[in-house]
């Protein structure tokens, strides 16, 4: 999968592609069949090759046929059953028994989100390392602080990097809190009626769910057909990530302006060139990261809108709007995370230019210092609790607070 109009989409690889979504739905069906067999509900031999029954060549027809039933699982089941009957007739008869479409689609979404979360966590870890190094290395690198686009007071670039790091740590923590969405199995109306009838009672029905969850590596939980917090939490965590990365990108874009020239994005592999002006070196990663930060919040809002539109025991449209929305948000967050990690790893800090700009901003930039301690020399440190703030953020990054 690749998106020509979203440069960098290839970085997300096969995450949340049609192939991976179909594979995730088949994994759910296979895990359920396995649970039915393990608990003695179904006397069958579970096929090992269920995933091999459907291939990439089947995707166009599945996509077209999904319209008739309103979701992609219905044509997938038809295809799986037809191909399984010739190999394992008993298993074909038990396929999907006790489940409903929403169980499989929801749990497949969770599996795809889990893979995306793992990728984002890895990039957040790399970002924490790069930002920790920048904050430590530039503790004493003085520069002009800016508020409302104007010079404010002297700060250090180490403090700015610590501010970036704080945003990334907040994103890491929120992703960790949301990063274990559970299995979603409830049957046709969230009551586990069919599983209970199959298994012989509600306790056994819940055992079926627990065993299925174990095979998928997911937490078990009561049905959440119309309570969509597991998905809205993940969407919110993704946006917290892009918010933090957008702040970094914005500062780099300002610092990379030729008239500022305090930060320079790596031009490795010819990155940042112009089609018409060979003299230009555009901060292209920062531009693309900012793009993602601007685009992400409406997708999370749409997931919330779907949750708010939940009605009865399965939403009519509110559920359906989640699928492509979560796919797009997840892939774009993965892309932006990788681009941010790469941006920070190659970021060049022009310390001489920072100091020169600070000197040029005097005496105005020292106005607050002079109003509090008149007559103090401008080059005397006026950095407040900068070191203590940096130390506190670095300790948090190391997990010691």
C-alpha pair distances (Å), 22 with each of 50, 99, 151, 232 = 12, 17, 54, 22
The residue from 314, 327, 331, 396 that is catalytic is 314
CB contact at 8 A, 186 and 209: no
Q: Among the options 82, 87, 274, 348, which is catalytic?
A: 274
Q: Provide the 10 A C-beta neighbour count for residue 278.
A: 8
Residues 6+ apart with CB under 8 A from 6: 332, 335
Per the annotation, the verdict on 314 as an active-site residue is yes
What is the C-alpha to C-alpha distance for residues 319 and 303, in angstroms, rounded to an integer? 9
CA distance 197 to 179: 33
Do the beta carbons of residue 163 and residue 357 sit within 8 Å?
A: no
Contact 62, 76 (CB under 8 A): yes
Distance, CA of 42 to CA of 36 (rounded, Å): 5
Q: What is the gyration radius of the CA atoms in the chain, in angstroms?
A: 26
Asked if residues 330 and 15 have their Cβ atoms less than 8 Å apart, the reply is yes
Catalytic positions, written as ranges: 274, 314
């Amino acid at each position: 999968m690749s998106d020509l109009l979203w440069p960098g989409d290839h970085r997300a690889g096969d995450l949340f592609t049609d192939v991976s979504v179909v594979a995730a739905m088949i994994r759910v069906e296979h895990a359920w069949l396995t649970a039915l067999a393990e608990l003695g509900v179904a006397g069958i031999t579970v096929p090992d090759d269920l995933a091999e029954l459907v291939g990439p060549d089947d995707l166009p027809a599945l996509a077209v046929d999904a319209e008739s039933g309103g979701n992609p699982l219905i044509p997938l089941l038809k295809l799986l059953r037809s191909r399984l009957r010739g190999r394992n007739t008993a298993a074909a008869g038990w396929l999907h028994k006790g489940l409903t479409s929403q169980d499989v689609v929801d749990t497949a979404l969770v599996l795809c989100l889990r893979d995306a979360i793992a990728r984002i966590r890895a990039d957040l870890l790399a970002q924490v390392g790069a930002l920790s190094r920048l904050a430590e290395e530039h503790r004493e690198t003085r520069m002009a602080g800016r508020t409302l686009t104007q010079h404010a007071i002297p700060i250090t670039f180490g403090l700015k990097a610590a501010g970036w790091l704080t945003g990334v740590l907040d994103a890491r923590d929120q992703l960790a809190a949301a990063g274990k969405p559970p299995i979603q199995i409830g049957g046709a109306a969230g009551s586990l009626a069919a599983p209970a009838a199959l298994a012989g009672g509600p306790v056994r029905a819940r055992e079926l769910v627990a065993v299925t969850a174990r095979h998928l590596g997911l937490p078990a939980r009561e049905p959440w057909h119309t309570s969509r917090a597991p998905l809205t939490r993940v969407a919110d965590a993704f946006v917290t990530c892009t918010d933090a990365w957008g702040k970094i990108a914005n500062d780099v874009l300002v610092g990379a302006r030729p008239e500022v020239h305090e930060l320079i994005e790596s031009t490795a592999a010819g990155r940042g060139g112009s089609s018409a002006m060979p003299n230009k070196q555009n901060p292209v990663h920062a531009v693309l990261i900012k793009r993602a930060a601007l685009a992400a919040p409406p997708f999370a809002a749409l997931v919330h809108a779907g949750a708010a539109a939940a009605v009865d025991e399965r939403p009519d449209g509110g559920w359906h709007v989640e699928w492509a929305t979560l796919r797009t948000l997840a892939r774009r967050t993965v892309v932006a995370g990788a681009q941010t990690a790469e941006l920070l790893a190659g970021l060049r800090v022009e310390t001489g230019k920072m100091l020169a700009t600070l000197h040029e901003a005097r005496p105005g930039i020292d106005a607050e210092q002079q109003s509090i301690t008149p007559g103090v020399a401008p080059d005397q440190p006026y950095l407040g609790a900068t070191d203590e703030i940096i130390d506190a953020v670095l300790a948090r990054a190391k997990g010691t607070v």
